[in-house]
């Protein structure tokens, strides 16, 4: 049997960002074995990885990260020496409706991985040497920034999230991710586990589950359904193309300094309502509809509870230390993304059937 240079466990590899990370690593590092551990919740989809499933350096294991015994067994079986941890419950609206799965997966699951890694690596003669535990997190742990220039151009305020911004999570999702970040740092500070952590802004691109703003709205425009803009639509998000995030994860996993935190962001702030109009224009054009044909689908609905007003990232540490920068212009990324969803109708239809349909009907009143 082939001996691999490294054995990397990627958790959540069947999800949106995880599938792009797995594909990048499998292709770029043929001498690494990439083990994808995923529970395949509603958000996990092996169809996202069809093009790599036969690769000799890739394998899939279905397991729950909160199942400590299962995680320990997998780490032993594959002699894992690096973990890239993405598995999580990720949708803010779901966390508002039912926070418990968020604590189980994001907090208990992360703890289970940390403890399994510690026990396995401490028992080896070389200990933690050559090992790395990389935790993928979100900028939402920092809370919200103010919009101080509501009518101008981006940036919509002077402040940005830096690696020194104090944690102030608002949603149950963000609170659970913040807790998991604290456990990661505690495992470094207490046991010396070689950890590294990144906090990234909103991602977009192919294979994102259509409950998040961009894929939900593209799908609704395609189907002539209302586009439910929460509240005024003046909230601001900093958008990053998912492949640029995957490239950043590769850079930090290999070259980031142990125990450090790096922010990742697109330097690309958009007010929700402006983004929705861009999606309408782009989708109508690619569908061959008259310009603005779907504008009338925009519907202002009740605001999200505790809606964070603005996220914006200072990613200069990552740029200065590791030379990473976003590679794609937003308009081009949106064009590619809309085209991907329009060309992948069967993917959309499969993931939006069954349990998702019930969630959608409860959330948006079956419109």
Q: Is 211 a catalytic residue?
A: no
Closest CA to 222 of 90, 332, 68, 339: 339
Please identify, using beta-carbon distances, which residue of 74 and 147 lies nearer to ligand NAD.
Answer: 74
E-strand ranges in 78-122 read 82-85
Q: Which of 78, 173, 187, 311 is catalytic?
A: 173
**Kind plus residue range of the DSSP H or E element containing 143:** none
Query: Which letter does DSSP use for residue 106 in this model?
Result: I
Please report how close the Cβ of residue 231 comes to ligand TYD at its closest, in angstroms: 7
Please identify, using beta-carbon distances, which residue of 63 and 278 lies nearer to ligand TYD.
Answer: 278
Stretch that binds ligand NAD, among 62-70, 181-189, 227-235, 311-319 (CB under 6 A): 62-70
Q: Of ligand NAD, ligand TYD, none, which one does residue 213 interact with (CB within 5 to 8 Å by kind)?
A: ligand TYD
Stretch that binds ligand NAD, among 12-20, 53-61, 149-157, 285-293 (CB under 6 A): 12-20
Q: What does the buried/exposed string (b/e) look like for 53-75 if buried means 16 or more CB atoms within 10 Å of the residue's CB? A: eebebbebbebbbbebebbbebb
Residues 174 to 213 in contact with ligand NAD, rule: CB under 6 A: 177, 200, 202-203, 209
Q: Of ligand NAD, ligand TYD, none, which one does residue 109 interact with (CB within 5 to 8 Å by kind)?
A: ligand NAD
**Position of minimal CB gap to ligand NAD:** 15
Please report how close the Cβ of residue 28 comes to ligand NAD at its closest, in angstroms: 19
Please report how close the Cβ of residue 226 comes to ligand TYD at its closest, in angstroms: 10
Q: For residues 154 and 274, what is the distance between their CA atoms, to the nearest angstrom?
A: 11
Residue 282 binding ligand NAD, by CB under 6 A: no
E-strand ranges in the chain read 6-11, 32-38, 58-62, 82-85, 132-138, 195-200, 202-204, 227-230, 236-241, 261-264, 269-271, 298-301
- Rounded to the nearest angstrom, the gap between the alpha carbon of residue 57 and the centroid of all alpha carbons in its chain is 24
Cβ 24 vs Cβ 55: under 8 Å? no
Q: For residues 45 and 41, what is the distance between their CA atoms, to the nearest angstrom?
A: 8
Crossing angle of the two packed helices 213-223 and 330-343, in degrees rounded to 10? 50
The residue count for binding ligand NAD (CB under 6 A) is: 30
Closest CA to 316 of 270, 267, 269: 267
What is the sign, positive or negative, of the torsion defined by CA atoms of 218, 329, 156, 93?
positive
Q: Of ligand TYD, ligand NAD, none, which one does residue 203 interact with (CB within 5 to 8 Å by kind)?
A: ligand NAD
Cβ 221 vs Cβ 284: under 8 Å? yes
Please identify, using beta-carbon distances, which residue of 129 and 168 lies nearer to ligand TYD.
Answer: 168
Q: Is 361 a catalytic residue?
A: no
Q: Which of 64, 81, 140, 269 is catalytic?
A: 140
Report how many helices (DSSP H) and strands (DSSP E) the chain contains, helices first. 13, 12
Residues 90 to 149 in contact with ligand NAD, rule: CB under 6 A: 90, 105, 109, 136, 138
- The footprint of ligand TYD (CB under 6 A) covers 92, 202, 212-213, 216, 228-230, 235, 237, 272, 304
Q: For residues 170 and 209, what is the distance between their CA atoms, to the nearest angstrom?
A: 23
Q: Which of 38, 81, 89, 139 is catalytic?
A: 139
Q: Is 156 a catalytic residue?
A: no
Residues 301 to 340 in contact with ligand NAD, rule: CB under 6 A: none
Q: Of ligand NAD, ligand TYD, none, which one does residue 105 interact with (CB within 5 to 8 Å by kind)?
A: ligand NAD
Task: Name the site residues for ligand NAD (rule: CB under 6 A).
Answer: 11-12, 14-18, 38-41, 43-44, 64-66, 86-90, 105, 109, 136, 138, 177, 200, 202-203, 209
Active site (catalytic) residues:
139-140, 173
């Amino acid at each position: 049997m082939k001996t691999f240079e490294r054995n990397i466990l990627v958790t959540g590899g069947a999800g949106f960002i995880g599938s792009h990370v797995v594909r990048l690593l499998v292709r770029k590092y043929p001498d690494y074995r990439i083990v994808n551990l995923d529970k395949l919740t509603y958000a996990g989809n092996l169809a996202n990885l069809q093009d790599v499933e036969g690769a000799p350096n890739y394998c899939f294991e279905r397991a729950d990260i909160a199942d400590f015994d299962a995680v320990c067994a997998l780490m032993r079986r594959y002699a894992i020496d690096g973990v890239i941890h993405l598995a999580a419950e990720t949708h803010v609206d779901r966390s508002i409706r039912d926070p418990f799965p968020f604590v189980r997966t994001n907090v208990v699951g992360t703890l289970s991985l940390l403890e399994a890694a510690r026990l396995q690596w401490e028992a080896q003669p070389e200990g933690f040497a050559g090992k790395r535990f990389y935790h993928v997190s979100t900028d939402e742990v920092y809370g919200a920034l103010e919009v101080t220039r509501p009518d101008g151009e981006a940036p919509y305020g002077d402040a940005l999230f830096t690696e020194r911004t104090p944690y102030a999570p608002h949603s149950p999702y963000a609170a659970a991710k913040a807790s998991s970040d604290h456990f990661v740092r505690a495992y470094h500070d207490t046991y010396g586990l070689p950890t590294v952590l990144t906090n990234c802004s909103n991602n977009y691109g192919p294979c994102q589950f259509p409950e998040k703003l961009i894929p939900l709205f593209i799908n609704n425009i395609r189907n002539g359904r209302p586009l439910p803009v929460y509240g005024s639509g003046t909230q601001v998000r900093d958008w990053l193309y998912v492949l640029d995030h995957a490239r950043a994860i590769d850079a930090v996993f290999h070259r980031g300094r142990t125990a450090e935190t790096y922010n990742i962001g697109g330097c690309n702030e958009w007010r929700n309502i402006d983004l929705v109009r861009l999606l309408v224009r782009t989708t109508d054009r690619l569908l061959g509809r008259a310009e603005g044909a779907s504008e009338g689908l925009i519907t202002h609905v009740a605001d999200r509870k505790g809606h964070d007003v603005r996220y914006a990232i200072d990613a200069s540490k990552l740029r200065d230390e590791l030379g990473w920068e976003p590679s794609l212009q937003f308009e081009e990324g949106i064009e590619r993304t809309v085209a991907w969803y329009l060309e992948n109708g069967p993917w959309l239809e499969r993931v939006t059937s069954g349990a998702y349909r019930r969630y959608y009907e409860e959330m948006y009143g079956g419109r």
